[in-house]
């Protein structure tokens, strides 16, 4: 079947490579070469343009119509997009099958996690899992959301505990089960004037200097900030970025600025910062467990169940 896909796409007997197909699909979905290069492929725009030109030259077919910065598929391009997606999906499936075969006798389970939210259920999940499957060693990976999504997609991670703030974030294409929801708050220093308030409007909050996570490692965080303050005329200004929420909290505590945080932080921070309610109340952030779609390995299935049980047993963090 894989050979059939390759033949139908014109890849057998040509110099078209999987890289060409990945670049082509990224540009077709983004409808913009620069956006595909920077947001999907993380390479330079000239490199993407060159690969697309090479692909069209090899096929001797025009795949895109160029209109300014935008690109649109030709009729031939739409046909090729279906075939290219089929080839890439079959390739990914082949890689997954080989990895699953190699790990049939699972001795390790690689788990990604977001430490800001998962701390209160991760330990309970780990205890239950290790009791149920003592011969499987869990390796934890404290990665950014984007890194976790890539790790799940390429098989380096089997499962992850994640926050999903936006429906169209990096985890939209994965199997996902919500375990709990967390209210969004404004973290301020204890001596800040806002600390004496019961709530702060989004408009007032936007006037403050903000501390946040690095844009390069946590683009979803910045997309969420933009969405949160979309209705506010004056947008918040992030003057300092850090590679983890622990550092963000330290900066807020030191008076560098304020930050958007989740209520779960209040259970671990004590009096270091004050979490103030925002008005209008932002939509809670969904926190849960994610994996690739399809059949889960026995260890992954057990870890999933343990996480579900752990979340259900912690009443104060139950879904709201």
Is-same-fold flag (103-181+286-317; 184-283)?
Answer: yes
Tens-digit pLDDT string for the chain (320 aa) = 333 444 444 444 457 788 889 999 999 998 988 888 888 888 888 888 888 998 888 888 899 998 877 889 999 999 999 999 998 888 888 776 666 655 555 689 999 987 665 566 888 899 999 999 998 999 999 887 778 888 998 899 999 998 876 555 667 778 999 998 889 999 999 999 999 999 999 999 999 999 999 888 788 888 889 999 999 998 999 999 998 888 999 999 999 999 999 887 766 666 889 999 999 999 888 889 999 988 888 899 999 999 999 888 875 444 44
Residues 6+ apart with CB under 8 A from 24: 51, 52, 55, 63, 80, 81, 84
Instruction: Locate the DSSP E strands across 202-293.
Output: 209-213, 237-242, 259-262, 274-279, 285-291
- Architecture category of domain 103-181+286-317 in CATH: 3-Layer(aba) Sandwich (3.40)
CATH fold label, 2-101: Arc Repressor Mutant, subunit A (1.10.10)
User: In 3-state terms, the chain is what percent helix, strand and coil (to 5)?
Assistant: 50, 20, 30
> Across the chain, which distance is largest between two alpha carbons, in Å?
71
Could you tell me the pTM of the whole model? 0.59
Where in the chain are the domains? 2-101, 103-181+286-317, 184-283
**Which of 173, 172, 171 has its CA nearest to residue 162?**
171
Specify the CATH number of the domain 184-283: 3.40.190.10
């Amino acid at each position: 079947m894989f050979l059939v896909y390759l033949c139908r796409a014109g890849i057998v007997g040509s110099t078209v490579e999987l890289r060409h197909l990945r670049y082509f699909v990224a540009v077709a979905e983004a409808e913009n070469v620069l956006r595909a290069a920077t947001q999907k492929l993380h390479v330079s725009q000239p490199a993407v343009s060159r690969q697309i030109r090479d692909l069209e030259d090899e096929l001797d077919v025009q795949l895109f119509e160029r209109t300014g910065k935008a690109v649109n598929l030709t009729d031939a391009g739409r046909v090729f997009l279906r075939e290219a997606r089929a080839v890439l999906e079959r390739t990914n499936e082949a890689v997954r099958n080989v990895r699953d075969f190699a790990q049939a006798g699972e001795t390790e389970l690689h788990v990604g996690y977001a430490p800001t939210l998962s701390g209160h259920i991760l330990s309970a999940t780990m205890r239950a899992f290790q009791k149920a499957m003592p011969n499987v060693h869990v390796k934890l990976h404290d990665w950014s959301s984007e890194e976790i999504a890539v790790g799940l997609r390429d098989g380096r991670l089997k499962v992850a505990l994640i926050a999903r703030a936006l429906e169209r974030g990096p985890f939209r294409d994965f199997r996902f089960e919500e375990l709990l929801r967390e209210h969004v708050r404004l973290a301020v220093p204890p001596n800040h004037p806002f600390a004496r308030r019961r709530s702060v409007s989004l408009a007032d909050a936007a006037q403050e200097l903000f501390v946040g996570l690095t844009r390069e490692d946590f683009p979803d965080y910045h997309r969420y900030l933009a969405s949160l303050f979309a209705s506010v005329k004056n947008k918040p200004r992030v003057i300092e970025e850090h590679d983890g929420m622990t550092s963000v909290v330290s900066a807020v505590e030191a008076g560098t600025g304020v930050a958007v945080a989740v209520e779960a932080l209040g259970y671990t921070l004590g009096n270091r910062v004050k979490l103030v309610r925002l008005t209008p109340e932002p939509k809670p952030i969904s926190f849960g467990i994610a994996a690739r779609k399809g059949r889960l390995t026995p260890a992954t299935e057990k870890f999933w169940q343990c996480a579900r049980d752990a979340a259900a047993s912690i009443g104060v963090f139950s879904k709201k």
